[in-house]
Amino acid sequence: MPLHNWVEKLNLECVDSFKIGLIGSSYFIGWVCTLLILPGLADYFGRKWIYRSAMVMTLSLYAAIYFCFSVDFMIVINFLLGALTTARISVCFVYMLEFVRVKHQSIVGSTWSIIDGFTYFLITLYFQVVWSYWMPITLIGVLEMVIGTGICFYIPESPKFLIN
């Protein structure tokens, strides 16, 4: 069963291999570009605002992926998603652990990492066994992103930030 993915959507058969590689690489380039900036901004302005902003912008970019039919625009979207990953992963991880007692931080952090890694296993299993279309599985992720974005507006500022 053939895999129906961005090759069809973006007509990648007719695109330079450099641009195809840049689709995935741009995500990590964006991530690296913000690793030294966003955590410091979160320490200065508070994790809540950086995290909330990143969640809203990420949700908008995920929606843009569904309407994107240009390789160049997809590269830009992936760069921006990567840039926001610093806030969603690095800042969020610290933000989450600041609400957990020190004696439980190790187990909470490990559980979070296991769930994150298990997601890739489930997606692989989906494409191998269930269906070869990318949109239904990503809609589940977008729904989770909508729920997570809504919930993040009810999370207070980090207690450690407020003490400082």
The helix/strand count (H/E) of the chain reads as: 9, 0
Q: Cβ neighbours of residue 79 under 8 Å, at least 6 residues apart? A: 26, 27, 29, 30
Of 107, 112, 120, the residue nearest 88 (C-alpha)? 112
Query: In angstroms, rounded to a whole number, what is the distance separating the alpha carbons of residues 62 and 144?
Result: 12
Terminal C-alpha separation, the chain: 56
What is the reported pLDDT for 1?
59
In a domain, 133, yes or no: yes
Query: In angstroms, rounded to a whole number, what is the distance separating the alpha carbons of residues 67 and 40?
Result: 33
Structure tokens at 127: 């494409």
Does 116 score more than 70 pLDDT? yes
Total domains present in the chain: 1
Structure tokens at 139: 């809609």
What is the span of the domain harbouring residue 23?
6-163
Q: What pLDDT, in 10s, does the model give residues 26-65?
A: 999 999 999 999 999 998 989 999 999 999 999 999 999 9
Does 6 score more than 80 pLDDT? no
Query: In angstroms, rounded to a whole number, what is the distance separating the alpha carbons of residues 107 and 78?
Result: 31
In a domain, 88, yes or no: yes
In a domain, 1, yes or no: no
In a domain, 102, yes or no: yes
pTM of the complete model: 0.86
In a domain, 113, yes or no: yes
CATH number at residue 35: 1.20.1250.20
